[in-house]
Amino acid sequence: MSEQEIERVSPEPSCFAVQIPTQDVNQTESEFWEDADDAEYKQEIKVELCTSTDMTLQKENSETLEQETQDDVNPHGSERNKIISSKDVGNSTATVKVLLMPERHMITVAFTIGLTILDLKKQFAFELRVPSDIIQITLDDKSVDDHQTLLDIGVQQHGMVQFEMSSLDPENYPMRPVKPQQEYNMPDVITVRVQTDTDAYQDVVVEIERATRGKAFLGGHRHKVTKAEYYHAAVQTRPKKRPDRGIETFCRDTQTVQLKNQAQQCSKNASTQMTKIGCYVSNMEDKLITPGTYITAEEYHSKRLRAVITLQTYVRRWLAKRFTDSLRQAKELRLAWLENEKRRKKEKKEQQIRDEYHRRMNPEKKGDFDLLYNALKKWRIEEVECINGTFSGAERKAALCALLEQETHFISSIERHRIAVGERNQDKAIQAFLNKSAEPKRWRAFDGKVTEMDTQFTIRAKELRDLYSSITQAQFTRDERLDVLLTLKHTVKEHKCKLTQDIVDLIDREADLLMRGVKKSNLEGLRKRISTLFLQYIKMPAFNPQVSKLLRVPQDPADFRKNICLCRGCNKYQSSTEFALMANASLVSLCRRCTELDNEARRREDFTLYKNILKRLRETEAECSPNAKITFLLQEQDLRYLVDVLWGAQSALSGWNDLHDLLLVRWEKYLDWSPWNCILLTKDEAAAHLRVENIEKAYDVVVIHNVKQKHALARKYFSQIPAMAECLRDAEIQPAALGNLLVSKPITKTTE
- What confidence score (pLDDT) does residue 88 get? 56
Say if residue 735 is preceded by a cis peptide, omega within 30 of 0: no
How far is the C-alpha of 239 from the C-alpha of 574, rounded, in Å? 110
How does strand 220-223 pair with strand 105-112? Answer: unpaired
Strand order in the sheet with 229-231: 6-9, 220-223, 229-231
How far is the C-alpha of 520 from the C-alpha of 284, rounded, in Å? 132
Buried b (16+ CB within 10 A) or exposed e, 730-739: eeebeeeebe
- What confidence score (pLDDT) does residue 723 get? 65
**Residue 210 CA: distances (Å) to CA of 14, 99, 195, 219:** 19, 36, 26, 22
- What confidence score (pLDDT) does residue 251 get? 66
The three-class DSSP label of residue 99 is strand
Domain boundaries, given as residue ranges, for the chain: 3-231, 366-433, 450-551, 606-718
How far is the C-alpha of 93 from the C-alpha of 25, rounded, in Å? 12
Q: Which residues of the chain have pLDDT under 50?
A: 1-87, 732-752
**Residue 267 CA: distances (Å) to CA of 262, 460, 531, 691:** 16, 107, 116, 72
**In sequence order, what are the beta bridge partners of 292?**
none
How far is the C-alpha of 273 from the C-alpha of 269, rounded, in Å? 14
Give the HSE-up count for residue 474: Cα atoms under 13 Å, Cβ half-sphere: 10
Residue pair 665/678 in contact (Cβ under 8 Å)? The answer is yes
- Rounded to 5 degrees, φ, ψ at 145 are -70, 150
HEC string for 108-120:
EEEEECCCEHHHH
**In sequence order, what are the beta bridge partners of 587?**
748
Angle formed by the axes of helices 478-492 and 456-472, to 10°?
140
How far is the C-alpha of 400 from the C-alpha of 183, rounded, in Å? 114
How far is the C-alpha of 109 from the C-alpha of 121, rounded, in Å? 13
How far is the C-alpha of 441 from the C-alpha of 458, rounded, in Å? 8
How far is the C-alpha of 387 from the C-alpha of 398, rounded, in Å? 10
- The letter for the amino acid at 472 is T
How far is the C-alpha of 611 from the C-alpha of 548, rounded, in Å? 30
Alpha helices (H) in 95-142, listed in sequence order: 117-128
**In sequence order, what are the beta bridge partners of 682?**
662
The three-class DSSP label of residue 680 is strand
How far is the C-alpha of 88 from the C-alpha of 25, rounded, in Å? 12
Residue pair 178/128 in contact (Cβ under 8 Å)? The answer is yes
How far is the C-alpha of 684 from the C-alpha of 416, rounded, in Å? 42
| DSSP sequence for 634-675 | --HHHHHIIIIIISTTS-TTT----GGGEEEEESSTTS--BT
Residue pair 21/201 in contact (Cβ under 8 Å)? The answer is no
Residue pair 720/744 in contact (Cβ under 8 Å)? The answer is yes
Stated as kind and residue range, the H or E segment containing 593 is helix 592-598
How does strand 93-100 pair with strand 160-167? Answer: parallel
- The letter for the amino acid at 493 is K
Class of domain 3-231: alpha beta
User: For residue 572, how far is the Cα from the chain centroid?
Assistant: 51
- Rounded to 5 degrees, φ, ψ at 639 are -70, -35
